[in-house]
Structures are given as structure tokens and as C-alpha cells.
Amino acid sequence: MRRVTAQWAVRIVAAVLALLAGLCRSEAGEGSLAERVIWAVNAGGEAHTDTHGIQFRKDPLEGKVGKASDYGMRLPILRSSPEDQVLYQTERYNEDTFGYDVPIRDEGDYILVLKFAEVYFAQSQQKVFDVRLNGHVVVKDLDIFDRVGHSTAHDEIVPFSIKRGKLSVQGEVSTFNGKLVIEFIKGYYDNPKVCALYVMKGKPEDVPKLQPHPGLEKREEDEEEEEVEVGDDGVKKSTSSSPKNPVRSGPRTPNPYAADNSSLMFPILVAFGVFIPTLFCLCRL
């Protein structure tokens, strides 16, 4: 009888500890990236699960809107892992504005991640278009080649929030009716397109960064260097130039020491404090 009672006590305490650990992870905002993704599509391609566990579904616009292209399959894509290059090698484009509808029921903070790669044009000003979110222009004059060059992965990160029936994005607010409308706007230079996209709960720092590209980083460093000029009066003037073509391929890596999570261990320590005396008493029965 004592042995059976002790076994049940151990099971109960283990369940309590598991519950406390889950609550701690929830309070800390942890959880796998894949669990926070509510919608993902491999535009112009087949279903694919990436290295982060995100399950991209087959393009729902196949046979309905625009054209699918796998022209990029013949090219290696820089800044992307070999396993996930397919997300940048296929694409959907259209000769007019097109887009996707994403149903969202829960309020909160979200991130729209748009994946692009220029695999056809070899110079800038050949394909330029905007991206609109429920009527708000969130990406203006996107020239993929001008941003990152040829056959190179580029991600656009668009944070937005939904609260009390309102959509807030980039300082603008509009009524939200439960459907997120992502549109790629036809411009003067060729056709709009997208390679893949997903919507997830979270903040910009939660989005995985693309692999570094030495050429792009060097260009940014050169543009950000201070230039010292000598004026007519013989006085040196320091001017700082901002990047002409900023690469927005993901947020900076978050500081792992920015948050102190030591308080999250308190419930677990309390549970252990209760478990040991309880087990001791049960064994003496």
C-alpha cells in the first residue's frame, strides 16, 4: 500500500512540475517558432517545411491568379540555407495587382514576413512594386536587385497589431474585419511578385535572420562611414551619409542577456520544497 501511494504521489508532483514549467515558458514568451506561425505559403511552389519547422503550404492561388515560376531552381540562392532555397527559387507573379487573404481571429502582435529573390533581371529599375496590407502601403518601391543583387534572398519584415477591432501598422490605423489582405501592387516596372510569405505571432526580433552576405555588409559599412570635408574657410566638416539602399532582411540579433529570467525558477523551487516532505510522509505510512 505504501509503495502504491508513493508512486501516485510522485506522478502527481511530476504533473504539477510539468504544469509549472509550461506556465513559466508561457510567461517568458517562449515556444517554438513553428507554433507561433498561423499561416504560411510557398508562392508558386509545393508544400515545404523549413529548417525552423514552419510548414509552408502549397500556393492556394495555383490555377486561379497569376503565374507560377520555378525559373530560380537553376540558381543557388545566397543568404539561404540549402534546405530552404526552394522558398526563394519559386515565385508567383501577375501582370496586375494580386494578393492573399489571411484569416486572423485573435488579437495581439503579429509579424508579416515576405520572402523575395531576383532570379531574372540583372540590374535595378527593372522590377519595382509596392506591397499593401489592408490598404496600407507597408513596402514602398521595392527593387529587389537594388536591395541585395541577383539570386540573393531578401526578407521584408512588417510588424502589425490587432486590438479592439483595429489594425495598426507603421503608425496607421484602420478597421479590421477578421481578414488580413496582403497585396502586391502593379507598378511601372514589370510585374509584382513574391516567393514565399508567412504570418506569425510575436515581435520583429523573433523572426530568424538570413545568413550574412559579406558583399552587402561591406557596402553598408562603406556608406555609413563618416566623410571629412574641408570647406572654403579651411574648417573641417564631418558629414555622415545614411545608407542609400538599406537591406531590411530581418531584425538585429537580440541580446541574450537583456532579460533576467531568474524569477521564473521560483515556482519550480517551491514545488520541490513541497514534494520532498510529502514523499517522506507518504513513505512512512
List the CATH number of the domain containing 171.
2.60.120.430
Measured from the Cβ of residue 46, the count of other Cβ atoms closer than 10 Å reads 13
Q: Taking 80 as the threshold, does the pLDDT of residue 110 lie above it? A: yes
The x, y and z cell numbers of residue 249, run together, are 532582411
In a domain? residue 26:
no
List of residues 6+ apart from 265 with CB closer than 8 A: 24
**Per the domain annotation, does 169 fall within a domain?**
yes
User: pLDDT digits over 175-187, tens only?
Assistant: 999 999 999 999 9
Question: At 31, which amino acid appears?
Answer: G
Of the ranges 24-28, 59-63, 111-115, 269-273, which one carries the lowest mean pLDDT score? 24-28
Cβ contacts of 212-215, under 8 Å, gap ≥ 24: 212/79, 213/78, 213/79, 213/148, 213/152, 215/149
Is a pLDDT exceeding 50 seen at residue 30?
yes
How many structural domains does the chain have?
1
Q: What is the pLDDT of residue 240?
A: 45
Comparing C-alpha atoms, which of 181, 204, 186 is closest to residue 250? 204
25 and 273 Cβ atoms separated by less than 8 Å: no
Cα 170 to Cα 172: distance, rounded to the nearest angstrom: 6
Question: Do residues 192 and 184 touch, judged by C-beta distance below 8 A?
Answer: yes
Q: Is residue 165 part of a domain?
A: yes
Asked, for residue 198, whether it belongs to a domain, the answer is: yes
- Asked, for residue 86, whether it belongs to a domain, the answer is yes
pLDDT digits (tens, 9 = 90+) for 122-145: 999 999 999 999 999 999 999 999
Three-point CA angle 174, 178, 207, nearest 5°: 85
Mean pLDDT of the chain: 80
Q: Structural domain of residue 117, as residue ranges?
A: 33-205
At 14 the pLDDT is 55
